[in-house]
Amino acid sequence: MENKFPYTIDNKRYHTLTYFYQNKFHSKVCKVSLNANFTCPNIDGTKGYGGCIYCSALGSGDFAGKKEDNLITQFEKGKEKMKKKWKDAKFIAYFQANTNTYAPLSYLKECFEPFIDREDCIGISIATRSDCISDQCLDYLEEINKRTFLMVELGLQTIHEKTAKLINRCSTLEEFDTMVKKLRERNIMVVVHIINGLPYETKKMMIDTVKHLNNLDINGIKIHMLHILKHTKLEKMYQKEHFPILSKEEYVDITVKQLEYLRKEIVIHRITGDPVKEDLVAPTWLLKKFEVLNEIDKKMAKEDIYQGDLVENRS
């Protein structure tokens, strides 16, 4: 049967990032992950200590450049590595590790400005928290957005406050909702990170997180599977409590259902995780990334499911 979904060029049944980039830039686009040596308010004691319980020592920047290198060097190294695989690709500077707006404006400008007018850099993506964007920072982001392609990636993980406390997120859903509104009022693209399989969450809870996001003016989403890494608080908790971890089949089932509740216009930036093999405790099935992606595709095709099938018509 012919795939009639409008936002794909590779026969997917959801709005692929490949389609988004190809439609906007007419090219393969790669994000070069950078580590600008930021910290977080739940690491430095402003709101808490130790960070989110699943974060590695690199603050979710395990694939970012080495912070010992300056940002331009990190970008050049990452770009050259990717060009070996995608010769004609274009590149986005991705500020990934920790909270990349959690610093004085002068330092933010020092980090971001070198990538705005680079011929080999078509845009900037900034991973941060909803409680770490000041009004002054918002003004600067609005300015950047007029000068280059910009995405702001907000870590939410879950809408459920009980889980948020358990994972030591140290920010509220209200803060998140408010910041999404502020960013979108300035026409800044918002990509949201969520995690499936957080300790003790049910399938309904995970789906409710997506239902909530679908009612906000977000542009994209990254769906991760919880993975337990060595030397994290989550590993200690897992060894002590042995909380259940989603099987591959459960993850596929939940993720497909979440896609049904997301508007077709929302770009799916990620639909599984990329753990560092040497640091992974569980689940080991996550290492077979393409197998997970294939299972999602197969389930959607078999059951004739498309992204947005369960979104209520608002007209």
Mean of pLDDT over the chain? 93
Q: Tell me the longest C-alpha to C-alpha distance in the chain.
A: 56
Give me the CATH number covering residue 43: 3.20.20.70
The answer to the question of residue 4 being in a domain is: no
Residue 57 has pLDDT above 90, yes or no: no
The answer to the question of residue 6 being in a domain is: no
Residue 127 has pLDDT above 80, yes or no: yes
Residue 62 has pLDDT above 60, yes or no: no
Residue 158 has pLDDT above 80, yes or no: yes
The answer to the question of residue 313 being in a domain is: no
The answer to the question of residue 126 being in a domain is: yes
The answer to the question of residue 90 being in a domain is: yes
Specify the number of domains making up the chain: 1
Q: Which of 47, 53, 49, 50 is nearest to 198 (CA)?
A: 53
**pLDDT exceeding 90 applies to what percent of the chain?**
85
For the entire predicted model, the pTM comes to 0.94
Per-residue pLDDT of 194-229, as tens digits, reads 999 999 999 999 999 999 999 999 999 999 999 999
The answer to the question of residue 99 being in a domain is: yes
pLDDT of residue 314: 46
The answer to the question of residue 1 being in a domain is: no
Per-residue pLDDT of 114-123, as tens digits, reads 999 999 999 9
The answer to the question of residue 281 being in a domain is: yes
pLDDT of residue 289: 92
Per the model's pLDDT, the better-predicted residue between 275 and 75 turns out to be 75
Least confident among 127-136, 232-241, 274-283: 274-283
**pLDDT exceeding 70 applies to what percent of the chain?**
95
pLDDT of residue 59: 46
Q: Which domain holds residue 73?
A: 17-302
